[in-house]
Chain A
Amino acid sequence: MGLISTLIFLPLAGAAMVALGPREKPGLLRGIALTTSVITFLLSLGLLTRFVAGEGGFQLVETHAWIPGLGITYRVGIDGISLFLVLLSTLLSVVAMAASWSDIKVRVKEFMICLLFLETGMIGVFVALDLFLFYVFWEVMLIPMYLLIGIWGNPARRIYAAVKFFLFTMFGSLLMLVAILVIYFYHGKTTGMYTFDLMSWYNLKLPLSMQIWLFLAFGLAFAIKVPMFPFHTWLPDAHTEAPTVGSVLLAAVLLKMGTYGFLRFNLPLFPEATVMFVPLLAGLALVGIIYGALVAMVQADVKRLVAFSSVSHLGFVVLGIFALNVEGMTGAMLQMLNHGFSTGALFLIVGMLYERRHTRLIADFGGLSKGMPVFATFFLIVALSSIGLPGLNGFVGEFLVLLGAFQAEPLWAVVAGLGVILAAVYMLWMFQRVMFGEVDKEENRGLKDLNMREGALLLVMVLFIIQFGVYPKPYIDRIEPSLKLVIKRVESRTALHQSAAGKPATPAARQATALHSSTTQHHN
């Protein structure tokens, strides 16, 4: 079994051990789960050392026969796009296990099993190179997340939120399933080879009329997952009702599956349709940026505020992807990772506040920084990183996205820039109301500052936040070649399409020229 398969199945083995463990000793069960995820994380670092930087194609590919009769293989591998997303998943799983230590007190056994299953699903989605396998992981992941929200969530509305989450995601993915089948048979009929292998599908030239529908079917599944405006309504509910750990993983990893899907499937498989739909997707992304920020601004609940800020941040990611140039896409990729750390940390922080005060309403807080200086420091760094302060991670990604957007269509950058300002408004305003001012409520006096475990968790996140912000080059070096490959696929096909149609320059052509003229130099 190769390294990637080990990463996929190790959490499952851990889940089996937890299942056999004694229910009366929750500490032991937690220990097994945490150890499993730590080992998985350490092993996943092996991906970094074995990954050859500078190559765009898939690496460490493993292939095993699975359902040969239907051309389904178990095929996994990584490229620059998935490498860091896998690492993000394994790291955040460790953080999640550790964060649940004091949060989850009932049904610890089931909880740990769910988390480990979720880890398997998350890793699987990012490494699957067979569309059937991808779909299986994509759906499997719903089950543990549904249970996490539905069983350990906020008593009042957890069931509503869990079911809504499940149905929304399922709706998109079922149509994607039909689309996958359509491509499968088209591939079979045109090439005589019936396969779900993504690499073979990349060579497929689908007619534009088919691409449009397929793009929409795949795109809907991913747009719901991201979530893009107007499919975002499940997100605030799921985030608010989920237990802290659920929110952390949902924000940090699960949302990325949508944007990952666009990069991995929509762009390379349906290049002509991609170019056609750029205005729509970029438009929705911009609406999402502004709408998410505006709605976040008026939230009374900190957790809901962070949830809506995700809608805004993910808007940036989508905008970067559909700028269809190296800068935008690199920015989008970095922003995916940044958002994982920043928003993940924000949800941890909100969870810590909730554990102390059992409320998440901004109005119930005030002046906390006096009693909790360490907490306040971490909170501020994370909040600033979310805003995109230079020197912290958020800046690099946002800047590149704006750069890419500007090259594609200057107006986009203007609108998105507005989103950056609004982000500062809602985040700092919230921070001010929660942390500064007079301590006007008796309950807020004498709140305990962070304990060792909490401090260590946030320290890990903040270290990454700073490291990312100061020196993003190692990430960019590994990500960029794969992105260039994606762009090349889109570009080569769309150029062909245009010459065939005999049309003058379209936005795509402009982007293509912009691409050639742009250098790939990066700051920092």
Chain B
Amino acid sequence: MAEAPAQTAARSVDDIKRDPLVADAVARVADAIVDAKEFAGEITLTVAKDRIRDVAQSFKDDGFTYLVDLAGLDYSKYPNWKGERFAVAYMLYSFKKNARIRLKTFTSDAIPTVTTVWKTANWHERETFDMLGIKFDGHPNLERILMWEGFNGHPLRKDFPVRGIDTGARIYPEVFPEGGGPKAGSTGKDVKDVNVYKGEWKDYGTWPAAALPAAPKPAAAAPKPAAPAPQIAGEVEEGEVEN
């Protein structure tokens, strides 16, 4: 129906900003909108990350009362990508206009929360934090939601292997002791001392990956014979197509 791709003549950024759908909301926060795109009839506005809450509030006041979805993305393996590593996309819907728009903001570590604007953002932001490790400043309860408390790594990051990890010990051995992870009797946060790594969490620095510090050799520990790590699934290379 109303989704015939409107790709005939790509509109310029200013034209999209003047679209009657978003013009009112954009006018109030014009300086925060850094880019605008249109694909398949959907408008995507790129927002400066420090202003996301103002922009969200402006759109909510303009009728976009329903935050449909909040999705995090890891752009580190995107072809020819030069921007910041992570993005967060906000899908908004207006009941009055019966229309959707998308806000998008890029970050390398943290952005302000929008839970103060929409209550529903709470779990979405927790999930994005859990899956991608993007922090949401000002979130009332930013803890893991799908993975267990103490899980090491963020599964939807592109450098996380699809076959999974041995409860944290395999991909970040310098951070997480071997055999870490949940054990019988663990109930999460309130018993944090049962099996959760107690040392300092390591700062992995900023993307790109070349900037990552080399993993230090485990000092003093006798180098073990290279016992092959248990394979959870077959060898699947990152990004390889399996079907």
A and B interact physically: no
